[in-house]
Structure 1
Amino acid sequence: MSLDPVTTNPDHYRVVLENERVRVLEYRDRPGDRTTPHQHPDSVMYTLSSFRRRLVSGDRHHEVELAAGVTGWLPAQEHHGENIGDTPTHVVFVELKEPAPGAAPAGDVVPGPQLD
Structure 2
Amino acid sequence: MRRTLPLLAAFCLGAGLATAVAQKSKDSTIVDPDVHQVVLENEHIRVLEARAAPGYKSPMHSHPPLVLVGIGSARLKFTTPDGQTQIFDIRPGTVLWRDQPIEHAWELLAGNLHVVAVEVKSAQPAKAN
Partners of 2:49 and 2:90 lie apart in 1 by 16
Aligned to 1:91: 115
Residues 7-65 of structure 1: CA deviation (Å, up to 9, x unaligned): 00001000000000000000010000000110000000000001100000022101011
User: For the pair shown, which has the larger CA radius of gyration, 1 or 2?
Assistant: 2
Does 1:31 find its partner at 2:54? Answer: yes
The percent identity for this pair of structures is 35
Moved over 6 A (4+): none
Count matched residues: 100
Aligned to 2:4: none
Shift of 1:99: 3.9
Matched position secondary structure for 2:30? helix
Please state which structure has a larger fraction of its residues in helix.
2
Q: TM-score, with normalisation over the residues of structure 2?
A: 0.74
CA RMSD of aligned residues (A): 1.1
Partners of 1:23 and 1:59 lie apart in 2 by 28
Residues 38-96 of structure 1: CA deviation (Å, up to 9, x unaligned): 000000000000110000002210101121111110231000000001x2100000001
Aligned to 2:104: 79
Give ranges in structure 1 of 5+ residues lacking alignment.
102-116
